[in-house]
Amino acid sequence: MNGMTTRRWALGLLSGVAMIAMGSARAAAEVRFGALYPFSGELAVLGDESWRGLELAVEERNAAGGVQGERIVLVRGDAVDNNQAVAEARRLISVSGVKAIFGTYSSARAQVASQVAELARIPYLEMGAVSDSITDRKFRYLFRTNPTARDMAERSIEMVINAVAPAHSVQPRDLRVAIIHEDSLYGTTVGRFQAGFAKEQGLNIVETLPYPANVVDMSALILRLQSAKADVVLQTSYQNDTVLFFRQAREAGFRPRAIIGGGGGYSLRETMQAVGQDVMDGVLNIDFTQIATNPKAAPGIPHFLEAYRAKYGMEPRSGHSLGNYAGAKIYLEAIDKAKSFSADDIAAALRALDIPEGQTAAGWGVRFGENGQNQRSKMMGLQWQDGKLVTVFPSEAAVSDLRLRR
Amino acid sequence: MQTFLQLVINGLMLGGLFAIISIGLTLIFGIIRLVNFAHGELLMVGMYLTWIGTSQLGLHPYVLAPPVVLVLFVIGVLIQRFILQPLLDARDAHVQIFATVGLSTALINLALLVFGADLYATPAPGVREAIHFGPFRVLIGQLVMFGCGIAVVVALHLFLERSYLGRAIRATAQHRAAAQLMGVDVRRIYIVTFGIGAACVGLAAVLVAPLYPTSPTVGTYFVLTAFVVVVLGGMGSLHGAFVGALLIGLVDSLSAYYIAPDLKEVVIFGLFLLVLLVRPTGLFGLGRGSE
């Protein structure tokens, strides 16, 4: 009886010691980073697509020896809504002890979660959220590799001037441009920047019409565009309103020379299927670098595609994985060169980056501004051609010529 | 002038859409005195059923009307029998309303789980084609919807006025306890009424699905307007709801054009408040609550 208890006690102690030893051995060779995305709920599909890019970049890095000689372990946090994003950011920092948080896809969640990280002095490394206000808060440990809503607006106006006008052999100022957008933060931000850039460039804006995203009838809006004789329409929208616009425009017989979307609903295959391939053919769009981009301008794409297909056994569902892959590679390379994993050393290493355009996986250069925003990342000009979204602008990234709408 | 008339036509057609969606809600509100927050989600369920029937079985959406109406009737009966009826004797009548809010959230998330967040377009050969009347255009699907709206209102009116069951339903609406004393099985009446209300939504779903893409949250786009229509029409008056819906459609269309698309809700709800202040019982209300 007595011997039994002693044996058990000794065994327990031994296993306890072993566990502590194993734990410390693991800690010595591992560094943890948080991966905060919406993994469930309405944004889950693109949240997961974004995560895949990060996962691929980390696996690649680990295969090459990790960062600062340590193996990277990703701890996932599910930012299903804003409250959850805050709670998960706190958990990652205080319970899991991550040295940096990568994310987030959703602008609203990035906005709130980055606040938690900043207060805890943990770098927040954004690779997908587009709202400009995220980097407008003078945070010291917040960085963003991807382009923003402002870049989207700038690119769309650039496309009107340098692609649409020449294709129709008219002067840009002779085009009658209408801006329509859903009236939440996303559409309003892009729409406002578009109006500003268009004015700067001397374009003729005939209508600027915000509408609620849950709109059930756009026929009156389309009648207004018809009355204004708009021949270029810039729309920033989600999926429902994109489908509604195309259906009702077709039904009303409204055929502008060019329609340029701003990501969102315009980038999704399901939108094209719901609208119809023939109706969507020739429609332009601005978004992150897509898979169908010339590798000369975005040198990482062939390698990324190969790795993606090998790991997931399918084609990427959107360009979000590529954007996160490119962003994560930029961050991990800099962290590897940092003196330690302290927030100040990581921030210093990131601020020292100076990569010219066209050299990272998605074609961006890297130079972080005071506010943490990458000043050398741009959106691409895309077009729906035969049911595929392909890059047509700028010319060095194009895989196909711009088509006129039939 | 031509633009104005086209706007009026568009507005009336939009009103037809609001009307067909609001009929079921009006019925349930008028008889059971229940604000059914899951109304939009019943529409969503019906639209998914229509989408499955058209895309998987290759049927025309209109052919699917009888089965979808029947399925929605059964769903309505089950909801009333197993979710709302047990709460009928709860101390606070609002418990039932909270139950429908819960049901609404549950159904949206169930749809997210099963179908994902993406939207689906119901194939509908011919329905989205426009008919031309001189310079004006109307979609075939919209005309059908408008006609069905009128037909359903007339049919329900006849049913409630002429049939024995209809009279029992009206008696229950007028005074629950008195009807019970006269030998009306109130619980059964409520079950049947909720079933009919849900069946009306089923018909609406079949007609709406060809015109609007289906997604888990599609019901939320329509339900707020449906509530406005019910109150505007006179809280339970069927023809009142129909006229209210046409009014909302017209205001929606005209204010989106002449004022601004993002301000049309301000105009609609402003008008709504005005009507409530001037005529608290709605346009076609009896002037007093019926119970």
Report the C-alpha gap between A36 and A295 in whole angstroms. 29
Query: Is residue A14 included in any domain, yes or no?
Result: no
Mode of pairing for the β-strands spanning A380-385 and A284-287: antiparallel
Cβ pair A240:B117 closer than 8 A: no
**pLDDT value at residue A186:** 86
Confirm or reject contact between B265 and chain A (CB < 8 A). Answer: yes
- Give the mean model confidence (pLDDT) for residues B103-113: 93
Query: Is residue B248 included in any domain, yes or no?
Result: yes
Domain shared by A361 and A320, yes or no: yes
Domain shared by A385 and A307, yes or no: no
Could you give phi then psi for residue A402, rounded to 5 degrees?
Answer: -65, 135
Residue B220 with chain A: CB contacts under 8 Å: 214
Whether omega before A394 lies within 30 degrees of 0, making that bond cis, reads yes
Confirm or reject contact between B165 and chain A (CB < 8 A). Answer: no
Nearest-neighbour CA in chain A from B180: distance (Å): 43
**pLDDT value at residue A26:** 46
A372 near A142, Cβ under 8 Å? yes
Which residue range(s) make up the domain with A168?
Answer: 150-287+381-397
Number of domains in chain B: 1
Amino acid identity, position A197: F
**pLDDT value at residue B33:** 86
Amino acid identity, position B4: F
- Minimal Cβ distance to B257: which of A44, A224, A273: A224
- Minimal Cβ distance to B119: which of A240, A247, A252: A240
Query: Is residue B287 included in any domain, yes or no?
Result: no
Domain shared by A91 and A170, yes or no: no
- Give B 212-231 residues with CB within 8 A of chain A: 212-213, 215-218, 220-222, 225
Mode of pairing for the β-strands spanning A388-393 and A124-126: unpaired
**pLDDT value at residue B80:** 94
Report the C-alpha gap between B177 and B171 in whole angstroms. 10
**pLDDT value at residue A236:** 95
Domain shared by A119 and A233, yes or no: no
Cβ-in-10-Å burial (0-12, 13-18, 19+) of B158 comes to exposed
Nearest-neighbour CA in chain B from A218: distance (Å): 8
Nearest-neighbour CA in chain A from B278: distance (Å): 28
Residues A199-257: pLDDT tens digits? Answer: 999 999 999 999 998 899 999 999 999 999 999 999 999 888 999 999 999 999 999 99
Confirm or reject contact between B60 and chain A (CB < 8 A). Answer: no
- Minimal Cβ distance to B257: which of A220, A240, A274: A220
Domain shared by A118 and A257, yes or no: no
Looking from the CA of B213 toward its CB, the CA atoms found within 13 Å total 27
* Residue of chain A nearest B208, judged by CA positions: A216
Cβ pair B119:A219 closer than 8 A: no
Query: Is residue B289 included in any domain, yes or no?
Result: no
Report the C-alpha gap between A300 and B212 in whole angstroms. 40
> What is chain A's length?
406
Q: Kindly give the interhelix angle for B39-57 and B94-115, rounded to the nearest 10 degrees.
A: 30
Whether omega before A135 lies within 30 degrees of 0, making that bond cis, reads no
Residues B132-182: pLDDT tens digits? Answer: 988 898 999 999 999 999 999 999 999 999 999 999 999 998 888 899 899
Report the C-alpha gap between A197 and A119 in whole angstroms. 35
- What is the CATH number for A90? 3.40.50.2300
Domain shared by A133 and A55, yes or no: yes
Task: Quote the percentage of chain A above a pLDDT of 90.
Answer: 79
CA-nearest of B64, B180, B82, B121 to A277 is: B121
- Number of other residues whose CB lies within 10 A of the CB of residue A263: 22
- Minimal Cβ distance to B6: which of A42, A216, A223: A223
Element (H, E) at A211: strand A204-211
Q: In sequence order, what DSSP letters do the residues of B55-89 get, joined into one string?
A: HHH---GGGGHHHHHHHHHHHHHHHIIIIIGGGTT
Residues B74-107: pLDDT tens digits? Answer: 999 999 999 998 887 777 778 888 999 999 999 9
Confirm or reject contact between B130 and chain A (CB < 8 A). Answer: yes
CA-nearest of A139, A52, A384 to A246 is: A384
- Minimal Cβ distance to A223: which of B7, B14, B218: B7
Which residue range(s) make up the domain with B102?
Answer: 2-278
Residues B21-80: pLDDT tens digits? Answer: 999 999 999 888 888 999 999 999 999 999 999 999 999 999 999 999 999 999 999 999
Looking from the CA of A94 toward its CB, the CA atoms found within 13 Å total 9
Report the C-alpha gap between B50 and B63 in whole angstroms. 10
Cβ pair A214:B120 closer than 8 A: no
- Minimal Cβ distance to A221: which of B254, B256, B265: B256
Query: Is residue A8 included in any domain, yes or no?
Result: no
- Give B 235-264 residues with CB within 8 A of chain A: 252-254, 256-257, 260-262, 264
Domain shared by A270 and A307, yes or no: no
Q: Which token pair is B218? A: 């599609």
Q: Which of A40, A243, A251, A277 to mutate: most B Cβ within 10 Å?
A: A251
Nearest-neighbour CA in chain B from A37: distance (Å): 16
Cβ pair B215:A209 closer than 8 A: no
Domain shared by A30 and A104, yes or no: yes
- Minimal Cβ distance to A209: which of B7, B221, B260: B260
- Residues lower than pLDDT 70 in chain A: 1-28, 406
Report the C-alpha gap between B279 and A287 in whole angstroms. 51
- What is the CATH number for B51? 1.10.3470
Query: Is residue B290 included in any domain, yes or no?
Result: no
Say whether pLDDT at B290 is over 50.
no
Residue B115 with chain A: CB contacts under 8 Å: none
Say whether pLDDT at B118 is over 90.
no
**pLDDT value at residue B291:** 40
Cβ pair B261:A211 closer than 8 A: yes
Residue B7 with chain A: CB contacts under 8 Å: 220, 223
Domain shared by A138 and A157, yes or no: no
Nearest-neighbour CA in chain B from A359: distance (Å): 34
Q: What is the pTM of this model?
A: 0.85
Query: Is residue A18 included in any domain, yes or no?
Result: no
Domain shared by A71 and A139, yes or no: yes
Domain shared by A182 and A197, yes or no: yes
**pLDDT value at residue A17:** 54
Query: Is residue B284 included in any domain, yes or no?
Result: no
Residues B188-225: pLDDT tens digits? Answer: 999 999 999 999 999 999 999 999 999 999 999 899 89
Q: In sequence order, what DSSP letters do the residues of A120-175 get, joined into one string?
A: TT--EEESS---GGGGSS--SSEEE-S--HHHHHHHHHHHIIIIIHHHTTS-GGGS
Confirm or reject contact between B110 and chain A (CB < 8 A). Answer: no
CA angle in degrees (0–180, nearest 5) for A7-A12-A16: 150
Say whether pLDDT at B235 is over 80.
no
- Minimal Cβ distance to B121: which of A43, A45, A273: A273
Q: What is the mean pLDDT of chain B?
A: 91
Domain shared by A306 and A389, yes or no: no
CA-nearest of A192, A114, A120, A187 to A371 is: A114
Query: Is residue B93 included in any domain, yes or no?
Result: yes
**pLDDT value at residue A49:** 92
Number of domains in chain A: 2
Cα–chain center distance at B7? 23
Question: How many interchain CB pairs under 8 A, A with B?
Answer: 96
Q: Kindly give the interhelix angle for A149-159 and A185-200, rounded to the nearest 10 degrees.
A: 40
**pLDDT value at residue A24:** 47
Q: Which token pair is B67? A: 């089965």
* Residue of chain A nearest B225, judged by CA positions: A216
Q: How confident is the model at residue B265 (pLDDT cuts 50, 70, 90)?
A: confident
